[in-house]
Copies of this chain bind each other. A is one copy, B any other.
Amino acid sequence: MNVSVLRLGHRYVRDDRITTHAALVSRAFGCDKIYMTEVDDSILKTIKDVNERWGQGSSNFKIEIISNWKHIIKKYKNTNSCIIHLTMYGINIVDVNFSEIIQNNHKPDILVVVGAEKVPREIYDLADYNIAIGNQPHSEIASLAILLDRLFLGSQFIHSFNGRLKIIPTKHGKKVKELN
């Protein structure tokens, strides 16, 4: 199962840190890619640095800058992939049948659409699933994390990254191994 993320409605400067976190979560939770429009160079630099130090993972994580989100949606639609839009107005995650999403062999690829403040109305119709991580306002980063957890079933936390740096999990303290 290949999962990519489409970040929509990013507001320059105001959303930079949130978008950086969305990209970092996409990488750390085993996604292949995050698609973004017009972002600040600092976001690209952060991900480049993290990939260099901590590894790109077996999914070879990268950012792809796009000029038009509609082309991406169309590409996923044409390949019969599954488009999930995260929105507080959608079906509550507790009522979503994830085995249906995961086991549907006609839809091997998943695109997760993560909006900032405003998302074009069309997205609600274009998405196969509009899913709410609870029907309360909170954070698109939290929503992305929980959705990916339901899709990857916890396996994202043991995903191999093969980076130069590797943490040795410790009860009290910090241990990092540097590979040559």
Known contacts A17-B17, A89-B175; can you find 8 more A-B pairs with CB under 8 A? A21-B142, A25-B138, A50-B137, A54-B136, A92-B157, A127-B172, A135-B166, A145-B146
Which A residues between 143 and 162 are near B, CB-CB below 8 angstroms? Answer: 143-146, 149, 154, 156-159, 161
Q: How many copies of this protein are present in the complex?
A: 2
Smallest CB separation, A49 vs chain B (Å): 10
Smallest CB separation, A38 vs chain B (Å): 18
Our pick among B28, B89, B134 for the contact of A170 (Cβ within 8 Å) is B89
Cα A24 to Cα B88 with chains together (Å): 13
Known: A95-B169, A173-B89. A139 touches B137 (CB 8 A): no
Cα A104 to Cα B79 with chains together (Å): 50
Q: Contact at A139–B21, with CB atoms within 8 Å? A: yes
Binding site for B on A (CB under 8 A): 14-15, 17-18, 21-22, 24-25, 27-29, 50, 54, 87-95, 124-125, 127, 130, 132-139, 141-146, 149, 154, 156-159, 161, 166-167, 169-176
Cα A129 to Cα B166 with chains together (Å): 20
Q: Which residues of B contact A91 (CB under 8 A)?
A: 169-171
Q: Contact at B157–A94, with CB atoms within 8 Å? A: yes
Q: Contact at A124–B173, with CB atoms within 8 Å? A: yes
What are 5 contact pairs spanning A and B, CB under 8 A?
Answer: A50-B137, A89-B169, A93-B157, A130-B171, A132-B169
Cα A164 to Cα B118 with chains together (Å): 22
